[in-house]
Amino acid sequence: MAKAKPFTPDDITFCIKTIHRPWACHRLVQSLRKHFDQPKIVVVDDGRPELRFSAKYPNTAKHCHVINLDRHDVGVGVGRNTAIEAAETDLIFLLDDDHVVTKDLHLNLVYERLQKHDIDILGVRQGGGGRPLLFAPLMNGKRIWMFRGERRRMGQLAWCDMSSNAFLARRDTIAKLRWDPEIKTYEHWEFFYRASHLEGLKIAVAEDCMVVHAHVGAKPYGDLRCRPKFRKRGLRKHGFHSMRYPGGGIVHA
């Protein structure tokens, strides 16, 4: 167990990929600025010009390093990889653009635990979601099962295979792992499957730390999110013909 370094927010860059939800991104950035003094924030936006965060909320965007990509809808994978590459700190904190940071994040605890326990990816809860999950093969390895569970626990820390999309990690670790640029959405499970089962990274969830998931599902974002062909692409990539979700739901490649 390593000795924890003192908490230093300046060592962290908050990385946000956004598209067609400028109001949500504005809300998130404002929440970060409320709880941290001059936070380092990278926002990558691949939306249409008229729906970009920097166009709609220039006074908020000036507090961020905003990267407006030339191509529309490059996807979550390319966008997040771009954000990680732009970060100049040792640690990154990934956030979805519909997250909101409150005092319940307890970033000092997240930081100290990542250092103390030599964890590679330390996620936090997102409201009622973001609980620790595990992966297991079914049907002779043809189906991947995602289920609620943990490998071990120490107080409020639960080691697992997958956390939420709100997590703290070392920049170099994530820059090496990366998101698959061909999987524009439904990328979450595929990223964490590679991290936990193929790369052997140490993943945990701090169950007493959380962000708010203030979901925004309105058009035009919703049409870009609900594209199951990208989930199928991830399944086929790893040789699975189907996935079983928590609660028993099954989807096929």
117 within a domain of the structure (yes/no): yes
**Is 4 a domain residue?**
no
Confidence of residue 6 (pLDDT cuts 50, 70, 90): confident
User: What is the number of structural domains in the chain?
Assistant: 1
Would 214 be classed as within a structural domain? yes
* pLDDT value at residue 247: 77
Residues 6 or more apart whose Cβ sits within 8 Å of residue 203:
119, 120, 121, 122, 123, 159, 160, 161, 162, 163, 192, 195, 196
Q: What pLDDT is attached to residue 100?
A: 98
pLDDT value at residue 141: 85
pTM beyond 0.85: the answer is: yes
The average pLDDT across 4-32 equals 91
Nearest alpha carbon to residue 53 among 65, 35, 38, 39: 65
Q: Which domain holds residue 109?
A: 11-246
- Residue 46 sits in a domain of what CATH number? 3.90.550.10
User: Band of the pLDDT at 145, cuts 50, 70, 90?
Assistant: very high
User: What is the average per-residue pLDDT within 165-177?
Assistant: 98
Instruction: Copy the structure tokens of residue 196.
Output: 């936990």
Q: Note whether residue 58 is domain-resident.
A: yes
**pLDDT value at residue 128:** 86
pLDDT of residue 240: 93
Asked if the structure places residue 1 within a domain, the reply is: no
pLDDT tens-place string over residues 45-94:
999 999 999 999 999 999 999 999 998 889 999 999 999 999 999 999 99
